[in-house]
Structure 1
Amino acid sequence: MPAATAVTMALLVSRLDTSSSGEVFAVALGPLLAFGAVLLAGHVVDALAEPLRFVAEARMDGAHRAHIARLAAGSPTIGALERPEVQERVRLARADPDNWTERTPGQGALAQLGEFVRILGITASCLVLARYAWWLVPVVLLAAVAARSVGYRQGLAFIRLWLAGVSHGRRAHMWQEVLTQPAEAKEVRVFGFAEWGVQREQHHIHGMFDRAWAAGVRDLNRQWGRLALTVLGLAAAYVPVALDAAHGTTTVAVETAVFAAGWSVFTALDGLDWRNRLGALPVLQAARKLDEELGAPAAPAHAAPASRPEDAPLVRFEQVEFTYPGTERKVLDGLDLEIRPGELLAVVGLNGAGKSTLIKLLSSLYEPTAGRITADGTDIAEFGPAEWRRRISVVFQDFVRYHLTLSDNVTLGQADGTVPDLTRAEAAARDAGLDEVLARLPHGWDTPVARSRTGGVDLSGGQWQQVVLARALYAVRSGARLLVLDEPTAHLDVRTEFDVFSRLAAHRGSSSVVLISHRLSTVRQADRIVVLDGGRITESGTHEELMALGGSYAEMFAIQAERFGAGFDDRIEDGELE
Structure 2
Amino acid sequence: MQCAGLRRSRRRQTARRIRTQSVRRDPAVGDTLRLLRLLWSAGKGTAVVIAVIRLAERLIPAATATVLALLVSRVTALGGTGEIGAALLPLAGFGVVLLVGHAAEAVTEPLAYLVQQRIDGAHRAKVTRLTASSPTIDLLEQPEAQRLIRQAKADPDEFSQRTPGQAALAQLDQVADAVGVAAACVVVAQFAWWLVPLLLIPAFLNARLRYRGRMEFIQLWRSQLDVMVRVERWEETLASAGVGKDLRVFGLGDWAVRRLHQQHVARTEPQFAVWKRNLRGQLRSLLLVVPPLLIAFTAVAALTVDGHGSVATATAALTAGASLFMMIDLGYTVLTRLSGLEALKAYDELAELLTKDTGRPASPPVTDPGSSSLVRFEEVGFTYPGTTRAVLDGLDLEIRPGELLAIVGLNGAGKSTLIKLLAGLYEPTSGRILVGGGREMSELGVQAWRERISVVFQDFVKYELSAADNVTLGRPGVVPDKAVLEAAARDAGLGPVLDRLPDGWQTPLARSRTGGVDLSGGQWQQVVLTRALYALRTGAELLVLDEPTAHLDVRTEFEVFQRLAEQRAEAGVVLISHRLSTVRQADRIVLLDSGRITESGTHDELIALDGSYAKLFAIQAERFQQGYQDAIEEGELL
Does the alignment reach a TM-score above 0.5? yes
Structure 1 moving runs of 4+ over 6 Å:
296-299
Alignment-derived partner of residue 412 in structure 1: 473
Distance in 2 of aligned mates of 1:371 and 1:307: 20
Deviation at 1:76, TM superposition (A): 0.6
1:343-390 per-residue CA deviation (whole Å, 9 max, x = no partner) reads: 011111111000000000000001111111010201001122111111
User: 2:404–2:568: 8 Å Cα contact kept in structure 1?
Assistant: no
User: Deviation string for 1:236-262 (max 9, x for gaps)?
Assistant: 433322210122222211111111111
Q: Deviations over 1:391-444 (max 9, x none)?
A: 11111111111111111111128422x432222111111110001111221111
Amino acid at match of 2:375: V
Give RMSD over aligned pairs. Answer: 1.7
User: Which letter does structure 2 place at the counterpart of 1:197?
Assistant: A
Within the candidate set 185, 188, 196, 1:129 is matched to 188
Secondary structure at 2:575's aligned position in 1?
strand
What is the alpha-carbon distance in structure 2 between the residues aligned to residue 305 and residue 430 of structure 1?
34
Q: How does 1:276-315 map to 2 (within 5 A)?
A: 276-295=336-355, 300-307=362-369, 311-315=371-375
Q: Indicate yes or no: 2:370 matched with 1:323.
A: no
Residue 274 of structure 1: CA displacement? 2.1
**Is the 1:166–1:208 Cα contact (8 Å) retained in structure 2?**
no
Q: Match of 1:10, as an amino acid?
A: A
In the TM superposition, residue 94 of structure 1 has moved relative to its aligned partner by 1.9
Structure 1 partner of 2:103? 44
After superposition, residues 45-84 of structure 1 pair within 5 angstroms as: 45-84=104-143
Q: Which residue of 1 aligns with 2:219?
A: 160
- Say if 2:611 is the partner of 1:551: yes
Match of 2:521 among 450, 461, 482: 461
1:86 Cα offset (Å): 1.6
Distance in 1 separating the partners of 2:568 and 2:466: 25
* CA shift for structure 1 position 509: 4.5
Please tell me whether the aligned partners of residues 547 and 553 of structure 1 are also in contact (alpha carbons under 8 angstroms): yes
Separation in 2 of the partners of 1:504 and 1:445? 23
Q: 1:207 to 1:421 in 2, by over 3 A?
A: farther
Match of 2:534 among 461, 474, 493: 474
What is the correspondence of 1:53-452 to structure 2 with a 5 Å cutoff? 53-270=112-329, 273-295=333-355, 300-307=362-369, 311-376=371-436, 377-412=438-473, 414-416=475-477, 418-452=478-512
CA displacement, residues 535-567 of structure 1 (integer Å, 9 cap, x when unaligned): 111111111111111111111111111111111
Deviations, residues 75-96 of structure 1 (Å, cap 9, x unaligned): 1111112122322222222232
**What CA distance in whole angstroms lies between the structure 1 residues aligned with 2:417 and 2:364?**
28
1:162-210 CA-to-partner distances (Å, cap 9, x unmatched) read 1122221111111111111222222221222111111121122112211
Q: More deviation in 438-447 or 86-95?
A: 86-95
The answer (yes or no) to whether the contact 2:492–2:533 under 8 Å persists in 1 is: yes
Q: Is the 8 A contact 2:190 2:317 kept in 1?
A: no
Aligned residues: 572
1:510-549 correspondence runs (5 A): 510-549=570-609
Structure 2 counterpart of 1:451, which letter? R
Residue 33 (1) aligns with residue 95 (2): no
Deviation of residue 296 (structure 1)?
Answer: 8.2
Identity of aligned residues (%): 56
- Deviation at 1:132? 1.9
| 2: CA distance, partners of 1:195 / 1:39 | 58
* CA offset digits 1:230-286 (Å, max 9, x no partner): 123323433322210122222211111111111111110027622321221222122
Helix, strand or coil at the partner of 2:449? helix
Tell me the amino acid that sits aligned with residue 206 of structure 2. A
2-structure distance, mates of 1:486, 1:574 = 20
1:145 deviates by: 0.6
The secondary structure found in structure 1 opposite 2:412 is coil
Gaps of 5+ in 1: none
SS in 2 for 1:573: coil
Distance of 2:220 and 2:266 partners within structure 1: 11
Q: Deviations 1:204-239 (Å, cap 9, x if unpaired)?
A: 211221110121112111111111111233234333
Q: Is the 8 A contact 2:536 2:543 kept in 1?
A: yes
In structure 2, the CA distance between the partners of 1:406 and 1:509, relative to structure 1 (3 Å rule), is: farther
Tell me the distance in 1 between the aligned counterparts of 2:502 and 2:277: 62
Cα distance, 1:99 vs. partner? 2.2
Partner in structure 1 of residue 26 of structure 2: none
- Per-residue deviation, 1:501: 0.7
Counterpart residue identity of residue 304, structure 2: A
**Structure 2-normalised TM-score?**
0.87
Determine helix, strand or coil for the equivalent of 1:334: strand
In the TM superposition, what is the alpha-carbon distance from 1:13 to its structure 2 partner? 1.0
Give the C-alpha shift of residue 3 in structure 1: 0.6
**Rounded Cα–Cα distance in structure 1 between residues aligned with 2:569 and 2:340:** 54
Greater mean alpha carbon deviation, residues 460-469 or residues 291-300? 291-300
Code of the aligned partner of 1:339: I
User: Aligned in 2, Cα 1:357/1:569: closer, same or farther, shift over 3 Å?
Assistant: same
- What amino acid is the match of 2:82? E
8 Å CA contact 1:78–1:365 kept in 2: the answer is yes
TM-score by length of 1: 0.96
SS at match of 2:190: helix
Q: Counterparts of 1:373 and 1:265 in 2: how far apart (Å)?
A: 69
SS in 2 for 1:273: helix
Matched to 1:189, the amino acid is: R
